[in-house]
Amino acid sequence: MNIMHNKRQQIPASRVLQNPICFLAFGFGSGLAPKAPGTFGTLAAVPFYLLFAKLPLPAYLALTLLLFLIGVWVCGRCEQILGVDDHSGIVWDEFVGLFITLAGAPASPYVVMAGFCLFRLFDIFKPWPISWLDRHVHGGLGIMLDDVLAGAYAWLVLFALLNFGLFKP
């Protein structure tokens, strides 16, 4: 199957909602938002984060790693099914990126909002090497990797703010 490069190509909702792989890749349908699907995908990840935040940190990290590995396959497979390279509606990577951003953080509303905003900033602006990864690594791994790094950058900033007392939960 040829992969097209129009990341914003309109995909019929029925194609996503009727296919379990694409349904997951599109963040349980949140990636179908006509504007800012990445932001809607990240927002859809928040309740899952709040559920997972109750886990002991090693279990939380193991689950995040498992979701990353599943995401590499799910996102790559959905990309093939749709025939579109890294479609903007594929937002499983935003789920994992947010989970990385908030790993070990207190699950207070202010921390979650700050982590959400930091992750979205890094994911949207893609400072180096995120932008390089986004352009040069393709398939499911490429879809996932730039958001993993955006999540890591956001995690570093969030924890610097928390640990240096610049931000209070």
Question: At 169, is the pLDDT very low, low, confident or very high (cuts 50, 70, 90)?
Answer: confident
Tell me the per-residue pLDDT of 26-81, one tens digit each, with 9 for 90 and over: 999 999 999 999 999 999 999 999 999 999 999 999 999 999 999 999 999 999 99
| pTM metric for this prediction | 0.93
Return the closest-CA partner of residue 94 out of 48, 55, 50: 48
Tokens of 164: 């240096």
